[in-house]
Homo-oligomer: A and B are copies of this chain.
Amino acid sequence: MNKNQQPACHNCETRHLSVFANVSSDTLDKISESKRCLHFKKGQELLHEGISANGIYCIHTGKLKFSRLGTEGKEQIIRFGKAGDIVGYRSILSQEPVSANIVALTDVDACYIPKDIILNLITKDGDFTKSLLTTACHELGEAGKIITNLAQKTVRERLAEVLLILESTFGVTEEGYIDVTLKREELANVVGTATETVIRFLSEFKSDKYVEFKGSKIKILNRTKLADTGSVYDY
């Protein structure tokens, strides 16, 4: 995908995973006309905390992290994104500045859809709006889970749980490694702890044969034990 050739939304396979799955053919045409397909390199920022968004990105391929700067400028990773997700909608709909830095973890192809198209769609297409609401409400529930876990679980438990979440979010490679590459530091910024602490617990999990490494790739060997370690009951 490049800037000259704008693939139509009709033919987009990723669309069926997204909030645009059921919008009408007409509407789809309108979106197709006004959107712009963009490419982001690994490490590039799609949106920056504090600005106001003028449109949303519909993620076609690639992986993202959503993070906020906490006290002392430390990164806190809030959640992840992948193909089929839309980003930036929260800011537009709450009429607040973007609340997270959204950064590409891999190369990312995404379509940019201007704000007014989306707002217009909301007033006209009930299914689409419902779909958006469902998404937002689902994420709200997830956020509640995260809050409870952060407040109550130990770092060791949280790390175990995060590994399981990453695996189920991003799946595994052919060789069975979790299909996302995070630095130890980033892993620490998800869990909310120090890098060294992540490393210590990871090597503990490794001695216990719950996981194994290959570079920074991680393979989960024993999901049950890991879920146990993380006090994850709904696994």
A positions within 8 Å CB-CB of B: 66, 68, 70-72, 74, 76, 78, 89-91, 93-96, 99-100, 122-124, 126, 129-130, 132-134, 136-141, 143-153, 157, 191-192, 231
Residue in A70, A148, A150, A151 with the greatest tally of chain B CB atoms within 10 Å: A151
Query: Given known contacts A76-B147, A148-B70, is B138 in contact with A94 (CB within 8 Å)?
Result: yes
Decide if B144 touches A144 in the complex (CB within 8 Å).
Answer: no
**Interchain CB contact (< 8 A) of A137 among B93, B100, B124, B152:** B93
Q: How many copies does the complex hold?
A: 2
Decide if B137 touches A137 in the complex (CB within 8 Å).
Answer: no
Decide if B153 touches A71 in the complex (CB within 8 Å).
Answer: yes
Give the interface SS of chain A, mostly helix, strand, loop or mixed: helix
Decide if B134 touches A93 in the complex (CB within 8 Å).
Answer: yes
- How far is it, in angstroms, between the C-alpha of A147 and the C-alpha of B76 when the chains are bound? 8
Decide if A136 touches B140 in the complex (CB within 8 Å).
Answer: yes
- How far is it, in angstroms, between the C-alpha of A223 and the C-alpha of B129 when the chains are bound? 41
**Interchain CB contact (< 8 A) of A126 among B93, B124, B143, B146:** B124
Please, could you name 5 A-B residue pairs with CB atoms under 8 Å apart, sorted by A? A70-B153, A71-B153, A93-B136, A96-B138, A129-B129
Residue in A99, A126, A138, A147 with the greatest tally of chain B CB atoms within 10 Å: A147
Chain B residue contacts of A151, Cβ below 8 A: 70, 76, 150, 191-192
- How far is it, in angstroms, between the C-alpha of A148 and the C-alpha of B129 when the chains are bound? 29
Decide if A144 touches B78 in the complex (CB within 8 Å).
Answer: yes
**Interchain CB contact (< 8 A) of A143 among B124, B130, B144, B149:** B144
Nearest CB to that of A92 among chain B residues?
A: B137
Identify 18 new A-B residue pairs, CB closer than 8 A, beyond the known A68-B148, A70-B148, A140-B140. Answer: A66-B144, A68-B145, A68-B147, A70-B151, A70-B152, A71-B153, A91-B137, A93-B134, A94-B138, A99-B141, A122-B129, A123-B126, A129-B133, A133-B136, A136-B136, A139-B140, A147-B147, A147-B150
Chain B residue contacts of A123, Cβ below 8 A: 126, 130
**Interchain CB contact (< 8 A) of A96 among B74, B126, B141, B152:** B141
A117 shortest CB reach to chain B, Å: 15
A198 shortest CB reach to chain B, Å: 13
